[in-house]
Amino acid sequence: MDHQEDETRIDFLQRLETDISWYIMSFLDDPADLVRASAVSRFWQQFVIANGLAKQLCLRKYPQLSNIVGIVNPNDGTVESIENNSTVQWEILERIQKVYASLLQAITKSKVSPKDCIAYAISASSTDNYPEESIVNTLNPRDRFIMRASYWSSKGQSDPEVPETLIYKLRASIWVITEIDIQPFEAFFQQGRPIYSAKFVRFRVGHPKSSSEIGNYLQMLPLQEPADDNFVWTYTSPEFPMVQENRLQPFKLPEPVLCIGGYLQIELLGRVQTQETDGLFYICVCHVRVLGRPLFPAFDVDILEPDGKLLLKCYPENLCSVLKSSSINEVPHLRHLEEEMMWERIGLLGELLQGPNNPIIFDEDDDEEVNEGLVL
């Protein structure tokens, strides 16, 4: 009986046309399914690798990855092209399969807790009073800094529909962004304590059009002119309503977003609050936090000029670091990094407000107040 059953079993991948087999296998939407399929038989393994199923799954889930034209071999720095699979050696096809499967795993299966991933502020589309109301203030989680109000303010507008944009650099070139939090500013020093929120908010992620040009800009941060035209935005979120409340408001993205290039734009749409003294509409933001999971140091990207194509760098030995959750032993180290980042931001705020020749001296009470605001 068993012998008869063996004779009636059919491997559909070997019987069907390649296009039909590929269409059927394209319904596998989990990297673990591709691993299981590769384990069925040698023929199935060869089919999965030769047809680049892991790569195709990546491109369906994250279209931004379609700009990858090569994978950098970490052993010798050579670039393995992925643009023409028909002429690629089998060993390279296997490596491409492993890289994309690992990338999918890092994006979708990571247990690392989301972290604040902003490195520094790049630009605001307008600033009312610089440096007192600079975008740099939005990196401070509190609404006061050295006995002063801490917030960014747009210029006033008679038209409440005039938008504003804020641009930030993330701490690495490749992140999975899950949430952006924004706290509108409550002007506690004005009568009635008005809150200068926006009506809606929208987010974009992307990379610079030119790495060399943006490098020149980064020497003069924060920029005092709109910088939006210097970037290619590869993802645009839906609009989210913002409420006129003095609290950190979370905006969870519908799906985790792959940010390649490390730049985030916040678009503030519509104004709701006028200032009593001039009757103009303003938008003011107290604090911005971007939560995401880093793919570095397991993955990194180089952006090629002038067409914006990507070279993907993969370091398999670091894959575990972007998959596992933080252990208790890692928490003190993470807190140390958070403290370092906080003091860097405080130094920049102090330099903006008082100038490099008039350093700010903190006493012990100041130190305790800052440390109380640190959150892991």
Per-residue pLDDT of 7-57, as tens digits, reads 556 787 888 888 888 888 888 888 788 888 888 888 888 888 888 899 999
pTM: 0.82
Q: Is residue 11 a contact partner of residue 25, using CB atoms and an 8 Å limit? A: no
The pLDDT value given to residue 227: 81
- The pair of structure tokens assigned to 67 is 């700009």
Q: Are strands 152-153 and 148-149 parallel, antiparallel or unpaired?
A: unpaired
3-state secondary structure of 254: strand
Q: Give the span between the Cα atoms of 271 and 157, in whole angstroms.
A: 9
pLDDT tens per residue across span 68-109: 999 997 777 888 887 665 556 888 888 899 999 999 999 998
Supply the pLDDT for residue 368: 43
In the chain, where do the E strands start and end? 68-72, 79-81, 115-116, 118-124, 144-145, 148-149, 152-153, 164-170, 174-184, 198-208, 231-236, 240-241, 249-260, 263-271, 273-274, 281-282, 284-294, 299-303, 310-314
What pLDDT does 224 receive?
73
Q: CA 234, CA 173: separation in Å to the nearest integer?
A: 13
Rounded Cα distance, 122 and 246, in Å: 24
pLDDT at 329: 44
Low-confidence spans in the chain with pLDDT less than 70: 1-9, 83-88, 215, 217-219, 325-376
Q: What is the pLDDT of residue 91?
A: 84
